[in-house]
Structure 1
Amino acid sequence: MHPLPTLLLAGLLPLLATPALQAAPPQGRDAPLHAAAEKLPGDEAGEVRAVVQAQLDAFAADDAEAAFRFATPAIQQRFGSAERFLMTVREAYPAVYRPASIFFMTPIRVGDEVVQQVRLVDGDGAVWIAIYTLERQSDQAWRIQGCQLSRSAGRMI
């Protein structure tokens, strides 16, 4: 994988890649981090996935206001407006803005963070991995705090 700069999407603040997010279990000193990752209960997993899917749907519909609502208040403050947020995603991150296909992996909790990995294929067949971090708000709703986007070496044909 070739990491890209951190996506400042729905807050899209940097998410540090941890061994818990890698496919193979870590060895040695990193093993405790992997052990700390846990699957979310089914209802929470469904809620988390629904938030990410709803934001992707909003991008597909060019609905800036809807896409912006799924970002945490901190991210909303950082971007200032829904239009600015959508423009950033559209211009800098077409794999997130208009994916040709989407595959959700199992969401996990790593420490205090909830992480949802999503495999995206862009219009050219390039494969991307989006790692979303989500945060539960005081009203119990999930909101996207950040997303890190990396291009995979693979291609869909």
Structure 2
Amino acid sequence: MRAVFAIAIVPFILASPAFAGDAEVKAAQATIDSQLKAFIADDGAAAYSYAAPNVKQIFPTVDTFMNMVTNGYPPVRKPRTYAFGKVQEMSPTSIIQQVLIVGPDGKDYEAVYTLEQQPDGSFRITGCSLRASTSLST
């Protein structure tokens, strides 16, 4: 199921933050930040609330979602630290955001999130691709 959630069509060459509107970037980052904080706090319901409808369709309950994240994305589930990296606006309502994570194992990871603006104006996470980081720089 991890492969379904990790949208593989995410380019790893990301543009500078200037390409996306500041308000949209801040809103997308706030969504990711809130979800990561919910994971750290073991608040599955809150973490699940930041998932987009396409993710909720694949993982229809908080438990199935949390099991997928716990088993497939340990660095995202329990990051030691994280910082936002590069961002790219794919369309006026779609953003790709790089997040640099130090996982529970102390190793560096790169998570690339895709987010879509919802009809109510909020951004929700449509996917996350995770890989071991080969560099500490952004």
Which letter does structure 2 place at the counterpart of 1:70?
Y
> Which is greater in Rg?
1
- Partner of residue 131, structure 1: 112
User: Could you say which structure has the greater relative contact order, defined with CA pairs below 8 angstroms and 6 or more residues apart?
Assistant: 1
Deviation at 1:16, TM superposition (A): 1.6
The two structures have a TM-score, normalised by structure 1, of: 0.75
Distance (Å, rounded) in 2 between the aligned partners of 1:81 and 1:95 = 21
Query: Please, which runs of 5 or more residues in structure 1 have no aligned partner?
Result: 22-33
| 1:41 matched residue in structure 2 | 21
Give the AA of the match of 1:89. V
User: Is the alpha carbon distance of 1:94 and 1:13 closer, same or farther for their aligned partners in structure 2, counting shifts above 3 Å?
Assistant: closer
Distance in 2, Cα, partners of 1:64 & 1:120: 20
- Structure 1 distance, partners of 2:28, 2:86, is 10
Alignment equivalent of 1:65, drawn from 22, 26, 45:
45
**TM-score with structure 2 setting the length:** 0.85
**Cα RMSD for the two superposed structures:** 2.4
Cα distance change on mapping 1:7 and 1:97 into 2, 3 Å: farther
Structure 2 unmatched ranges of 5 or more: none
State the number of aligned residues: 134
- Show the counterpart of 2:130: 149
